[in-house]
Amino acid sequence: MKNTISAELPKISRRKFLVVSAAAGGGLALGFNLPFGVGSAAAQSAAEAAEVNIWVVVKPDDTCMIRIARAEMGQGTLTGLAQLVAEELECDWNKVRTEQITAGQNLARKRAWGDMSTAGSRGIRTSHDYVRRGGAAARMMLMQAAANEWNVPVTDLQVANGVISHAGSGRSTTYGKVAAAAAKLTPPDPKGIKLKDVRNWKIAGKPLRRLDTADKLNGQKIYAIDLKMPGMLHATVKNCPVFGGKLASFDDSKVKGMPGVKGVMKINDTTVAVVADTWWRAKKAMDALPIVWDEGPHAKVNSASIAEHLKSGLTSNDAFADIDTGDAPKAIAAAAKKIEAVYSVPFTSHTPMEPMNCTVKLSPDKAEIWIPSQSLEASLAALSSASGQPLEKCEAYVMDLGGGFGRRIGNQDVVRQGVAIAKAFPGVPVKMVWTREEDQAHDFYRPIAQCRLSAGVDEKGNLAGLHLRVSGQSINAFANPAAIKDGKDRRQLQGLWPEPHDAQIGYTHANLRTEYAMRNTHLPVGPWRGVNTNQNGIFLECFMDEVAKLANRDPLEFRRSLMSERPKHLAVLNAAAEKAGWGKPLPKGVHRGIAQFMGYASYSAAVAEVSVSAKGEVKVHRCVFALDCGNVVNPDQTAAQIEGSVAYGMTTLLSEISVANGRVVETNFHNFRVMKIAEMPKVEVVLPLTHDFWGGVGEPTICVVVPAILNAIHAATGKPVRSLPLSKQGLTLV
Amino acid sequence: MPQLNINGRSHDVNVEPDTPLLWVIREQVGLTGTKYGCGVAQCGACSVHLNGEVVRSCALQVSAIKAGDRITTIEGLSKDSSHPVQKAWAAIDVPQCGYCQSGQIMAAAALLAKKSKPTDKDIDEAMSNICRCGTYHRIRAAVHIAAGNTKVGSADALTSDQQNA
């Protein structure tokens, strides 16, 4: 998810701020105790606790509060970051607690905690170094404080589990006892700290239990949607169902007298809000509110017209070539055997389980927001611009997200709406919650795409050339046009890039061309877990199976023949194949498919085992994954992310976002079918780590889930699946 | 409006009779562990027990609750997270974001109350709750652990074997 941060962010990073001592006050002002990880850092750190450095606060009872600057949305980053700090801190893991910092605190301290955005599978891979140095620096300061107290050289001391000991004298002390003295010492230069060899880790790298599970089992966890504050009001909104349309009028006389209703208001050109004393009453009044929409210029657009628009990009002359090695079209034309195919992948929605929401309180001298945000600093910036309060008078508190998947990153639409409503109720906290229907109808969808692929093979079954043309909507064109250089939006070719380290194509060939033709629609689009590796993984990896079949070659062996210059891709492909038992007999009717792809600096491969009944019922029995993310901080949570990517990916076999009369057709789970437990295959994971880089975990594997399954369906039925969802092929998932 | 018996305590509520039980639980009684996910009884995030049966409270009007009905929410499933389902969920870290898990746990507890040793097919039929994080794999494993069908750490308990090479 590159380049997705709100354009408002750079403004705040350049600004200088004095320490605002009140920055953390909002957590206390709630009037009830927030659980760990919810309140502000200063609210959590009691007066007697010592801030050894920005990452580590130690209490007299030896509790180590580890500060977290990234959002937790289920992906386990909170636990992983704590493991990394604790590893270098040498504290007792059983005494670790975490606390989330606020965006205002980060700004007040000149962004000491660094980037707070949680996107692009970067939560750990871009912060592991400085959080480990933070843990190590705190350990050094705590040990120095003990050495000073005992008047012995620090080199004579040892530490384990938060207990510092001096072998010569037999003395020992604990972190809690020396923390106050340690906090007064000059911190060591972080750059001079030597970090532990990853292979010697004791806390990081281990499958430790998550720190945030307990409250998720008994109803005690407070999500943003659960917040309660004295005097709070509740709001819901309705946005013009047709993108590009506007709110024409509404008749509030019909609902103003309904129980609990406090206000009905236009909050921007496209949105009406109802505010009431409870959310249910607001929702009921909204349902009863007569609204007239000016549907605008796109009211006749539908999925068929969008498909035609994209189709034009498959053969147009406005595309650019990204890889253009040799002469692929000429080589294909001259080949002994040729194949051409067109693939298409529809829009889809994020649909996190917790609907969009935020709570905003606007006071004369302060603007506050509580929000499940993947980019808390962007939320703060949007709060400031929408409320008119300067940044130093704004505060944003992150609430752990009930799912994110990319929906809650760059576009702060929810913040602007929440602020617009709260302006009508100064000093009153107003919680705005969208219905599921609004969430479905007003997402920033995964972009729609088509792809024309052609290839030739020679008499020996070797690839003669491969030509790939993607035509589809650009995320950057919608969200971040400045990222498009010279009119070439390379981001839409993610996973097909020639350069190494991030999302490199796994194959090399003398005649290879990749192209992209931009075809935008009126739907808003955005990053969706795995972003463009999803579509591109399907296009390339499913077509590879079609070419292998044309060449009468095994799909695994055919791929290997093109991967000699991609050793890391190849090693992961081989690991998945070996773990899955590629080539070994399967039960009757069960077929395998394989795929490999790269994204988020990690290498992924999958093997799926699938059967297809005569009635077209597809059963995915087992999926085997190999992931090389370089280093792994918690292998059990890494496995959990891979398991989750299976379900999130497989839902695209079942559902799509389609368009009729300019609006989204799929309004709730009855017509946007989400995969359930009965359809979930067994998942097995192997991590062939190479330890010489840091790759992402949350997103990399999703791009191989669907192509591995589609290739297994192809193996089972003899027919390639070139468009989704499966219902377009007369297939269903069981 | 009858008194509502929720988790063994009586509550007087003064709401319009067509208010869904979910919103009475969340906004009147103040128990927020039961979640809003869809409002149309599709996702199961709002699952509670009504006289021991799992129901989707977002589509159940409070006027349908009769005197003497017993409602149990996630907060009342056990006093100290000691229900076998909660313990199994903790043992293998089932939740990711956790938002749907109250409903998942209530559905699993209702299943086990009826079938103490459920098969995979029983689980498939009883557990239709939606999870977008995709914890299904671990939910299945945890139901089997809670039922005593498998033990934590056994090969069957979780098929994600981690080879940290």
H/E stretch holding A80: helix A77-89
Specify whether the CB–CB gap between B4 and B71 falls below 8 A: yes
Q: What is the pLDDT of residue A47?
A: 57
Q: Kindly determine whether residue B73 and residue A402, on different chains, have CB atoms separated by under 8 Å.
A: no
When pLDDT is cut at 50, 70 and 90, the band that residue A411 belongs to is confident
For residue A487, what are its two tokens?
């009119």
Query: How far is the C-alpha of A562 from the C-alpha of A569, rounded, in Å?
Result: 11
Burial class (CB in 10 A: 0-12, 13-18, 19+), A130: middle
**What are the b/e assignments for A115-126, b being 16+ CB within 10 Å?**
bbbbbbbbbbbb
- 165 residues of chain B, pLDDT tens digit each: 679 999 999 999 999 999 999 999 999 999 999 999 999 999 999 999 999 999 999 999 999 999 999 999 999 999 999 999 999 999 999 999 999 999 999 999 999 999 999 999 999 999 999 999 999 999 999 999 999 999 887 644 444 333 333
Q: Kindly determine whether residue B133 and residue A688, on different chains, have CB atoms separated by under 8 Å.
A: no
Taking the CA of residue A467 and the nearest CA in chain B, the distance in Å comes to 35
Q: Kindly determine whether residue B45 and residue A353, on different chains, have CB atoms separated by under 8 Å.
A: yes
A258-261: long-range contacts, CB 8 A cutoff, minimum separation 24: A258/A284, A258/A285, A258/A288, A259/B16, A261/A285
What DSSP string runs through chain B?
-PPEEETTEEE-----TTSBHHHIIIIII---SS--S-SSSSS-TTEEEETTEEEEGGGSBGGGPPTT-EEE-GGGS-SSS-SHHHHHHHHTT--SS-TTHHHHHHHHHHHHHH-SS--HHHHHHH-----SS--HHHHHHHHHHHTTSS-TTSTTT------B-
Residues of B in contact with A75 (CB under 8 A): 96
Q: What is the pLDDT of residue A38?
A: 35
Taking the CA of residue B72 and the nearest CA in chain A, the distance in Å comes to 12
Q: Give whole-number Cα distances, A4 to A9, A369, A702, in Å.
A: 11, 21, 19
**What are the b/e assignments for A522-541, b being 16+ CB within 10 Å?**
bbbbbbbbbbbbbbbbbbbb
Taking the CA of residue B17 and the nearest CA in chain A, the distance in Å comes to 12
Taking the CA of residue A628 and the nearest CA in chain B, the distance in Å comes to 10
Query: How far is the C-alpha of A338 from the C-alpha of A332, rounded, in Å?
Result: 7
Q: Kindly determine whether residue B132 and residue A352, on different chains, have CB atoms separated by under 8 Å.
A: yes
Nearest to A403 among B19, B34, B99 (CB): B99
Q: Kindly determine whether residue B97 and residue A639, on different chains, have CB atoms separated by under 8 Å.
A: no
Residues of B in contact with A222 (CB under 8 A): 32
Q: How do residues A288-325 score in pLDDT, each as one tens digit?
A: 999 999 999 999 999 999 999 999 999 999 999 999 99
Query: How far is the C-alpha of A369 from the C-alpha of A389, rounded, in Å?
Result: 12
Q: Kindly determine whether residue A687 and residue B75, on different chains, have CB atoms separated by under 8 Å.
A: no
Task: Pick the closest to residue A645 from A608, A617, A672, A593 (CA basis).
Answer: A608
Q: Are strands A233-239 and A246-250 parallel, antiparallel or unpaired?
A: unpaired
Q: Give whole-number Cα distances, A667 to A244, A371, A726, B40, B69, in Å.
A: 18, 24, 20, 11, 33
Taking the CA of residue A84 and the nearest CA in chain B, the distance in Å comes to 17
For residue A628, what are its two tokens?
């090389």
User: Which DSSP symbol is given to A26?
Assistant: H
Phi, psi angle pair for A607, to nearest 5°:
-125, 125
Q: Is B58 on the interface with A (CB under 8 A)?
A: no
Query: How far is the C-alpha of A368 from the C-alpha of A714, rounded, in Å?
Result: 53
Interface residue of A198, A201, A213 to substitute, partner B, most B CBs within 10 Å = A213
Q: What is the pLDDT of residue A20?
A: 24
- Closest chain B residue to the Cα of A259, Cα to Cα: B16
Direct distance between the N- and C-terminal alpha carbons of chain A, in angstroms, rounded to an integer: 32
Q: Kindly determine whether residue B129 and residue A76, on different chains, have CB atoms separated by under 8 Å.
A: no
Q: What is the pLDDT of residue A419?
A: 98
Q: Kindly determine whether residue B131 and residue A353, on different chains, have CB atoms separated by under 8 Å.
A: yes
Q: How do residues A111-135 score in pLDDT, each as one tens digit?
A: 999 999 999 999 999 999 999 999 9
Q: How do residues A189-247 score in pLDDT, each as one tens digit?
A: 999 999 999 999 999 999 999 999 999 999 999 999 999 999 999 999 999 999 999 99
Q: What is the pLDDT of residue B153?
A: 76
- Closest chain B residue to the Cα of A622, Cα to Cα: B159
Q: Find residue A684's DSSP bridge partners.
A: A624
- The complex scores an ipTM of 0.96
Q: Kindly determine whether residue A214 and residue B81, on different chains, have CB atoms separated by under 8 Å.
A: yes
Cα-Cα-Cα-Cα dihedral sign, residues A716, A722, A726, A728:
negative
Direct distance between the N- and C-terminal alpha carbons of chain B, in angstroms, rounded to an integer: 62
Query: How far is the C-alpha of A452 from the C-alpha of A571, rounded, in Å?
Result: 29
Query: How far is the C-alpha of B4 from the C-alpha of B67, rounded, in Å?
Result: 8
Residues 6 or more apart whose Cβ sits within 8 Å of residue A50: A57, A58, A59, A179, A180, A182, A183
Judged against a pLDDT cut of 70, whether residue A509 lies above it is answered with yes
Task: Report how far Cα B122 is from the mean position of its chain's Cα atoms.
Answer: 16
For residue A504, what are its two tokens?
């490199």
Segment 131-150 of chain B within 8 Å of chain A by CB: 131-140
Residues of A in contact with B101 (CB under 8 A): 216-217
Q: Kindly determine whether residue A677 and residue B19, on different chains, have CB atoms separated by under 8 Å.
A: no
The three-class DSSP label of residue A27 is: helix
Q: What is the pLDDT of residue B151?
A: 87
Query: How far is the C-alpha of B160 from the C-alpha of A530, rounded, in Å?
Result: 21
Q: Is the peptide bond before A329 cis (omega within 30 degrees of 0)?
A: no
Phi, psi angle pair for A96, to nearest 5°:
-85, 130
Nearest to B124 among A351, A354, A677 (CB): A677
Query: How far is the C-alpha of A464 from the C-alpha of A241, rounded, in Å?
Result: 49
Nearest to A686 among B78, B131, B163 (CB): B163
Q: What is the pLDDT of residue B152?
A: 85
Q: What is the pLDDT of residue A21?
A: 24
For residue A103, what are its two tokens?
């965006």
Nearest to A644 among B75, B96, B163 (CB): B96
Tell me the Ramachandran region of residue A661: left when phi exceeds 0, alpha when psi lies from -120 to 50, beta otherwise.
left
Interface residue of B131, B132, B135, B158 to substitute, partner A, most A CBs within 10 Å = B132
| Average pLDDT, rounded, for chain A | 93
Q: What is the pLDDT of residue A6?
A: 34
Residues of B in contact with A636 (CB under 8 A): 93, 160, 162
Task: Report how far Cα B24 is from the mean position of its chain's Cα atoms.
Answer: 17
Task: Pick the closest to residue A270 from A295, A290, A287 (CA basis).
Answer: A295
Q: Is B21 on the interface with A (CB under 8 A)?
A: no
Q: How do residues A600-625 score in pLDDT, each as one tens digit?
A: 999 999 999 999 999 999 999 999 99
Q: What is the pLDDT of residue A410?
A: 79
Specify whether the CB–CB gap between A599 and A493 falls below 8 A: no
pTM here?
Answer: 0.94
Mean pLDDT for A410-435 is 96
Other Cβ atoms less than 10 A from the Cβ of A582: the count is 18
Q: Kindly determine whether residue A218 and residue B81, on different chains, have CB atoms separated by under 8 Å.
A: yes
As a three-state string, the secondary structure of A637-690 is HHHHHHHHHHHHHHHHHHCCECEECCEECCCCCCCCCCCCHHHCCEEEEEECCC
Taking the CA of residue A255 and the nearest CA in chain B, the distance in Å comes to 15
Burial class (CB in 10 A: 0-12, 13-18, 19+), A665: middle
User: Which DSSP symbol is given to A270?
Assistant: T
Specify whether the CB–CB gap between B139 and B127 falls below 8 A: yes
Q: Is B10 on the interface with A (CB under 8 A)?
A: no
Q: How do residues A13-66 score in pLDDT, each as one tens digit?
A: 333 222 222 222 222 222 233 333 333 444 444 558 999 999 999 999 999 999
Q: Kindly determine whether residue A639 and residue B162, on different chains, have CB atoms separated by under 8 Å.
A: yes
Q: What is the pLDDT of residue A474?
A: 98
For residue A126, what are its two tokens?
């871009």
Q: How do residues A131-153 score in pLDDT, each as one tens digit?
A: 999 999 999 999 999 999 999 99
Task: Report how far Cα A651 is from the mean position of its chain's Cα atoms.
Answer: 16
Q: What is the pLDDT of residue A584?
A: 98
Q: Give whole-number Cα distances, A16 to A70, A107, A367, in Å.
A: 22, 8, 19
Nearest to B27 among A278, A640, A680 (CB): A278
Q: How do residues A660-717 score in pLDDT, each as one tens digit?
A: 999 999 999 999 999 999 999 999 999 999 999 999 999 999 999 999 999 999 999 9
Q: Is B105 on the interface with A (CB under 8 A)?
A: yes
Q: Kindly determine whether residue B130 and residue A674, on different chains, have CB atoms separated by under 8 Å.
A: yes
Indicate the angle between helix axes B101-114 and B84-91, nearest 10 degrees: 130
Nearest to B160 among A405, A436, A643 (CB): A643
Tell me which amino acid residue A661 is: N
Taking the CA of residue B75 and the nearest CA in chain A, the distance in Å comes to 5
Cα-Cα-Cα-Cα dihedral sign, residues B117, B119, B124, B130:
positive
Taking the CA of residue B123 and the nearest CA in chain A, the distance in Å comes to 8
B107-110: long-range contacts, CB 8 A cutoff, minimum separation 24: B107/B44, B107/B47, B107/B54, B108/B139, B108/B142, B108/B143, B108/B146, B109/B49, B109/B77, B109/B83, B109/B85, B110/B49, B110/B52, B110/B53, B110/B54
Q: Kindly determine whether residue A74 and residue B133, on different chains, have CB atoms separated by under 8 Å.
A: yes
Q: What is the pLDDT of residue B71?
A: 98
- Closest chain A residue to the Cα of B86, Cα to Cα: A217
